[in-house]
Amino acid sequence: MKKFINQGNKDTRSGFGEGLLELGRNNTEVVALCADLTGSLKMNSFAEENPDRFFQVGIAEANMMGIAAGLATGGKIPFTGTFANFSTGRVYDQIRQSIAYSNKNVKICASHAGITLGEDGATHQILEDIGLMKMLPGMTVINTCDFNQTKSATLEICNFEGPVYLRFGRPKVANFTNALDKFQIGKGLLLNKGNDVTIVATGHLVWEAIQAADKLNEDGISAEIINIHTIKPLDEDIILNSVNKTGCLVSAEEHNIFGGLGESVARLLTSKAPYPQEFVGTNDTFGESGTPTELMNKYGLNMDSIYDAAHNVLKRKIKWEHLFYFFY
């Protein structure tokens, strides 16, 4: 198995901040807007270096989306920044009508996504945002796994024409990807080859999937790990190539299993490769206040849950194979 080294825990939102700062220095068309959360989104440095290209709109997220759409119409490349809950649920109508419908070149950058927002609790911990955004026609949806990948994604979406939802988080997590790797929208990453089970993970659950694969290897189970950083468009080829080899799959995400990555994968499997799948994610629930680690453990968003799901899907794989050969 390939070994991944944690280069030191870092928050993914800081990757966004560094990427935005670099864009500000290299592209004068880039502008940034924030809804009273400049420090939380790590947009301070961009604002200090580019005061004429930074717009603090205050606690007025819907207005921010409208302004961003207008700036895009004028040829600018606007990056909006606020918490994921306020970047999607609070402003869904504005995004749908003013940005997605007219295919505006707006980059909606959302921090503090998922349960790992932590102590602010359920009202701020949106677990439905991927589902909301992937259903919008023409919206590209990206969910990065660590600091390096978030910075790389921030740089790349600037070159992409069209609306993008970039999702990242608050806590310091393992930083294990190569800082020099170029981010490719819509292209999953094969992290580890395996023959027995496919694990498709996104965001903070990618590192947990790597740890689960190490544990499965101790049981003699060879897990293939795929990092799906782009939820939409989904890299169907990398998933199908893997599951046609392994015969079963586990999806893992810090999101509601209703509407997230897992459902996109399930749609793919039912239409092109009907193999058994297990889901790791929150199950039709809101969050609650607590530390990120406490909440990840309580809601089963960790290495152990992925490990258990792999064993469960392997049992179903055996039954499925028996049925297949019986009817064949």
The answer to whether the Cα torsion of 190, 191, 197, 199 is positive or negative is negative
- 115: tokens are 């349960």
* CA–CA separation, 113 and 256 (whole Å): 12
Q: Which of 61, 128, 208, 254 is catalytic?
A: 61
Burial 196-234 (b: 16+ CB within 10 A, else e): bbbbbbbbbbbbbbbbbbbebeeeebbbbbbbbbbbbeb
Cα(326)–Cα(185) distance, rounded to whole angstroms? 42
CB atoms within 10 A of CB 137: 9
Q: Sign (positive/negative) of CA torsion 22, 23, 24, 27?
A: positive
Answer yes or no: are the C-beta atoms of 204 and 175 closer than 8 Å.
no
Q: Counting Cβ atoms within 10 Å, is residue 309 exposed (0-12), middle (13-18) or buried (19+)? A: buried
61 is a catalytic site residue = yes
Which of the residues are catalytic?
A: 61
